[in-house]
Amino acid sequence: MEATEIRKLAALEDTHWWYRERRVLLGRALRRLAAAGTRPGRALDVGAAGGGNTRVLRAHGWRPLALEYSAEGAGVARERGLDVIRADARHLPVPSAGLDLVVAFDILEHFDEDHLAAAEIRRVLRPGGTALIAVPAGMRLWSAHDVAVGHVRRYDRAGLRAVVAKAGLVPDELWSWNVLLRPVAAWRRRRSTGSDLDDLHPLVNIGLRTVITAERYLPVRTLPGVSLMLRAHRPA
């Protein structure tokens, strides 16, 4: 992702409906892990940008390390008091089998060799450790936005399962997110000339946040969405 996009993301992530809801989803996933008996331990937030998700991990008792490739994103995360390292997701500077959790939201789609990044996630997880992965869904939504933010592809369910399975991870749960607003995203992307990481009018932001919040309570996870979310684990 270009430096300007990283700075834009960091400025927006505290208030923008998309990033706010993604943090809610991460928090829900962490609570489910806790309910299943997983105690907070060492975590890695791959592609942390300004550290929004890293802060969620810390708030839930995890000991997170933010990993960011860009100097801009890493700088913002440090300014926010987070532990940060700069590295490529295909070459994680982390010992093998040392982490309890890896979060990789919107990372795999940036690499031709997405299986290498997925394999690194598996390598650094301890046996039984959890990976939480998010990717953009549906090549029918491909647009100038994807080009602007450095995407190589968008995924379908079979493609995402294949990548994580090739890496040696076992998928536990796979679901769609941002289903209700997919028609809006498709309409906007057809007219897109660049990134849609924009600072929205407050009323528009509230309206979109209301819709995406309603999605939490509706049975739409199997329908096509704008993103795919996956929970997987490294087998013992």
Distance of CA 112 to the CA centre of its chain: 18
Q: Which domain holds residue 84?
A: 3-233
The contacts found for 67-70 with CB under 8 angstroms, 24 or more apart, are 67/92, 70/1, 70/3, 70/6
pLDDT in tens, 35-61: 999 999 999 999 998 899 999 999 999
Three-class SS of residue 13? coil
Measure the CA–CA gap between 236 and 219, rounded to whole angstroms.
32
CATH of the domain at 37: 3.40.50.150
Nearest CA to 149 out of 101, 113, 96, 195 is that of: 195
* Structural domains in the chain (count): 1
pLDDT in tens, 97-111: 999 999 999 999 999
Positive or negative CA dihedral for 107, 201, 189, 182?
positive
The confidence band for 8, taking pLDDT boundaries of 50, 70 and 90, is: low
